[in-house]
Amino acid sequence: MLFNEVKKDLILGSAESLLNIQKKFKQRFQVDDIFGNSKVFEIVIANRLGHILIPGHSGTRDCKDADGNIFEYKHYKESSSNHSWTFNDYSQTIFEKMRRENYKIIYAHMNDTNGLSRNVFKRERPKEIKFPELDWYYEIPGSLMANYLEEKTIKITNARKMINVSRKQLETYFDPQYNYKRTPKTKFNDGPYSDDLNSIFNEIHNLERATGVINLLTSNKIWELITSVYLNHNVNPEQGGRLGAHDAYDKDGNQYEYKISKSENWNFQDISEAVLEKYKSIKGFILVTKNVETMSINTIYNCSNGLLYKIKEKMEMKANRYQVEGRVMRRKQIGLTKNDISPYVIEEISV
């Protein structure tokens, strides 16, 4: 496993540049934390549709237009293995809210493979990768979508209350005025956020080229890279790729799982037997607290692999509690606090 020299000054300098972009963006549009939770993809979509971003993250709608229409965005990337849009945690209450508010839902496709199909892109592995762009989308009124989801979820029995919606489903179920694939009318450089996006993409492009780590704007990847410089780790360039299914590795080839949070409470999701088995192969867990306002890391807790026992213990306790209470456990996830991890902390690094 090839280990590259950690370019600490370059990475932290890039983080400072991204922070300056984020500060200016917040001043102009009152939207912060633009490098978390795939927020940048919402900005890309809004830019091409001429929409106005609504401040906030989870629990709020995403955008509005000049006429006051409210929109929720859902997107998938061409590089993704799942070419559909996902609704999580649906309920009758949510269906009724969709009908009452009747916000519009944008189902967007992000071209992140240089216009190639996913398979061709993976096979050819172009050296220069263009940044994700909205190339087509569907627009469905929330009230009609609620009717569809209510009908189609009756027979679904998965505990997570999750349903995937495909292009074929949209085109088959909805009337012709809604079921067709649209292309954005606003050109990228004419959009309200184009200058900011170009600044972001240029900085990320330089950082990806210098480090060999791609998809830095997806999930917590940029934060994994910033964390890695304090541990002399290399971040796996592709999650689950040839270097393995974990986040980072050291010069001896030992692999690590990173969990990064705004507070000292770290979530472990989708804890299946396969995931627990995967964790057995790692050297340890790296639990991190971040400060999105300063684009920096606060504290790093280097925990031994023994933390796996605590994860299993809390998962079993949750399952037993739900069984006693007669409740269905919808997601196999738990949270670990500072007290939970304390017995397993090998090293605590204050940055």
Contacts for 69 with CB less than 8 Å, ≥ 6 apart? 103, 104
Mean pLDDT along residues 238-242: 51
| pLDDT score for 207 | 94
In terms of CATH architecture, what is 8-194? 3-Layer(aba) Sandwich (3.40)
| pLDDT score for 239 | 55
| pLDDT score for 79 | 87
At 124-144, the pLDDT tens digits run 877 777 888 999 999 999 999
Residue 6 corresponds to which tokens in the numbers above? 């950690």
| pLDDT score for 243 | 42
At 32-71, the pLDDT tens digits run 889 877 789 999 999 999 999 998 655 568 899 999 999 9
High-pLDDT (> 70) share of the chain, %: 95
| pLDDT score for 125 | 76
Residue boundaries of the structural domains of the chain: 8-194, 219-350
Report whether CATH 3.40.50.2000 matches the domain 219-350: no
Outline where DSSP puts E strands in 242-331: 248-249, 255-261, 265-268, 284-291, 296-304
Mean pLDDT along residues 237-257: 77
Residue 325 corresponds to which tokens in the numbers above? 């209470």
pLDDT band at 238 (very low <50, low <70, confident <90, very high): low
| pLDDT score for 242 | 43
At 63-98, the pLDDT tens digits run 999 999 999 999 999 988 889 999 987 888 999 999
Mean pLDDT along residues 161-176: 93
Q: Three-state SS for 136?
A: strand
Mean pLDDT of the chain: 90
| pLDDT score for 164 | 92
- Our separate counts of H helices and E strands in the chain read 11, 15
What is the 8-class DSSP label of residue 158? -
DSSP string computed for 108-120: EEEE-STTS-HHH
The answer to whether 8-194 and 219-350 have equal CATH topology is yes
| pLDDT score for 217 | 87
**Whether pLDDT at 265 is above 50:** yes
Task: Name the residue with higher pLDDT: 38 or 27.
Answer: 27
Task: Name the residue with higher pLDDT: 80 or 10.
Answer: 10
pLDDT band at 249 (very low <50, low <70, confident <90, very high): very high
Mean pLDDT along residues 275-284: 92
- Do 60 and 72 meet the contact criterion of CB atoms below 8 Å apart? no
| pLDDT score for 122 | 80
| pLDDT score for 161 | 79
- Do 313 and 340 meet the contact criterion of CB atoms below 8 Å apart? no
At 187-213, the pLDDT tens digits run 999 999 999 999 999 999 999 999 988
Strand (E) or helix (H) holding 34: none
- Do 227 and 261 meet the contact criterion of CB atoms below 8 Å apart? no
Phi, psi of 221 (to 5 degrees): -60, -40
